């Protein structure tokens, strides 16, 4: 990147951030996390299509341009490769850009910038050039849209060394993890389950945040483990509640980070229950679910009482909106897998 870095516009008045526990939708929790990060560090800039006065197509950046100015919340042309390329240049100049990709299917024009440049620059310079860039990616289905608007491409990026990939499932995690991602010296792909943008949950700004790349047990159980991340955590918890009524105790592990993966809680859970179902929206072939199943088979083989089962989207292009319910996994498909592993 050449030319002058943008001048940071002074905030007209103090910007309020959360100070006490409150219930927020997930999208608003991300908004508050962005607000807190921008208030704490004037080098944090937001970039994306229609993120200024409109606040983004999902309103995640609502009112941030009004509060922080157009030099820190930049509306960009419809050119994802250019957006990420400029973010790389800004990071080289000491800024912390946060890029919004409107829908996951639009990230591929920037794929070359992300995997061949962004992921490699720090290593290419022997660690002397950090790349503190966050790329926010609304992803996943259940919104009644078409291809390029409902897919789950996280495995492409989890496969690329040099990138960190995370996916919050709760408003509290969304609030904290977006701030932790912005503080990272490495590039972070921040996958947001857009079907859950309006799901409310408690956000606690006073409690210590969990580690960005730590997985957690979302529900304790003894008979079978379900591991999921992002939007599928809610489906896994729904399945666990139904199974409880049928006499099966399910433990749900929320991965939170898909690269790197914190395998400790997952392996501990499998060693306790002896059974594992992996749930993901992405197609199953060569997916993150495949990697999770392989890792557990390698490291907890003698604890398994049944083969690891995967519940995934089918290995076909994403269908028309009317058929999304057939393509996307839900609690019923998870429970069918639980039944199979319990009766193995």
Same domain, 231 and 158: no
Rounded-to-integer distance, Cα 95 and Cα 154, Å: 25
Same domain, 221 and 255: yes
Same domain, 284 and 336: yes
Is 343 labeled as catalytic in the residue annotation? no
Same domain, 265 and 319: yes
Same domain, 175 and 102: yes
Lowest mean pLDDT among 144-153, 264-273, 305-314: 144-153
Band (157; pLDDT cuts 50, 70, 90): very high
Same domain, 231 and 191: no
Same domain, 27 and 146: yes
Instruction: Render pLDDT for 109-147 as a digit per residue (tens, 0 to 9).
Output: 999 999 999 999 999 999 999 999 999 999 988 877 877
Instruction: Render pLDDT for 30-88 as a digit per residue (tens, 0 to 9).
Output: 999 999 999 999 999 999 999 999 999 999 999 999 999 999 999 999 999 999 999 99
Same domain, 113 and 256: no
Instruction: Render pLDDT for 218-250 as a digit per residue (tens, 0 to 9).
Output: 999 999 999 999 999 999 999 999 999 999 999
Same domain, 187 and 221: no
The CATH number of residue 39's host domain is 3.40.50.970
The CATH number of residue 326's host domain is 3.40.50.920
Rounded-to-integer distance, Cα 127 and Cα 1, Å: 20
Q: Is residue 310 part of a domain?
A: yes
pTM: 0.93
Rounded-to-integer distance, Cα 339 and Cα 311, Å: 13
Same domain, 181 and 328: no
Band (150; pLDDT cuts 50, 70, 90): confident
Average pLDDT value over all residues in the chain: 93
Domain final residue, candidates 203, 233, 263: 203
- Residue 199's domain comprises 23-203
Residue 14 has pLDDT above 60, yes or no: no
179 to 68, 116, 144, 204, 333: CA distances (angstroms): 17, 26, 30, 14, 34
Domain final residue, candidates 203, 235, 266: 203
Give the count of domains, the chain.
2
Q: In what order do the strands lie in the sheet with 224-228?
A: 216-219, 250-254, 224-228, 276-283, 309-313
Predicted pLDDT at 145: 80
Q: Considering the candidates 149, 159, 213, 299, report the single residue annotated as catalytic.
A: 149
């Amino acid at each position: 990147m050449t030319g002058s870095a943008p001048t940071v516009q002074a905030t007209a008045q103090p910007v309020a951030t959360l100070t006490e526990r409150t219930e927020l939708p997930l999208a608003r929790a991300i908004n508050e996390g962005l607000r807190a990060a921008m208030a704490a560090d004037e080098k944090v800039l937001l970039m994306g299509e229609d993120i200024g006065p409109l606040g983004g197509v999902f309103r995640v950046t609502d009112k941030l341009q009004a509060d922080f100015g157009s030099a820190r919340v930049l509306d960009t042309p419809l050119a994802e490769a250019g957006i990420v390329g400029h973010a790389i240049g800004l990071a080289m100049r000491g800024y912390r850009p946060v890029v919004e990709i409107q829908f996951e299917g639009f990230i591929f024009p920037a794929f070359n910038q992300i995997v061949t440049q962004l992921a490699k620059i720090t290593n290419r310079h022997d660690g002397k050039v950090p790349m503190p860039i966050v790329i926010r990616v609304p992803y996943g289905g259940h919104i009644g849209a078409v291809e390029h608007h409902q897919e789950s491409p996280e495995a492409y990026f989890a496969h690329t060394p040099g990138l960190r990939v995370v996916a919050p499932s709760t408003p509290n995690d969304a609030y904290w993890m977006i701030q932790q991602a912005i503080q990272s010296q490495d590039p972070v792909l921040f996958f947001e389950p857009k079907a859950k943008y309006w799901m409310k949950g408690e956000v606690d700004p006073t409690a210590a945040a969990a580690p960005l790349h730590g997985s957690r047990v979302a529900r304790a159980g003894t008979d079978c483990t379900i591991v999921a991340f992002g939007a599928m955590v809610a489906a896994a918890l729904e399945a666990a509640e139904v199974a409880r009524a049928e006499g099966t105790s399910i433990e749900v592990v929320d991965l939170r980070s898909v690269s790197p993966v914190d395998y400790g809680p997952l392996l501990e859970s499998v060693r306790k229950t002896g059974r594992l179902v992996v749930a993901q929206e992405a197609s199953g072939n060569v997916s993150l679910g495949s990697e999770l199943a392989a890792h557990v088979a390698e490291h907890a083989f003698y604890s398994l009482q049944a083969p690891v089962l995967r519940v995934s989207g089918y290995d076909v292009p994403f269908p028309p909106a009317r058929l999304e319910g057939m393509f996307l996994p839900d609690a019923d498909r998870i429970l069918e897998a639980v039944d199979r592993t319990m009766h193995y």
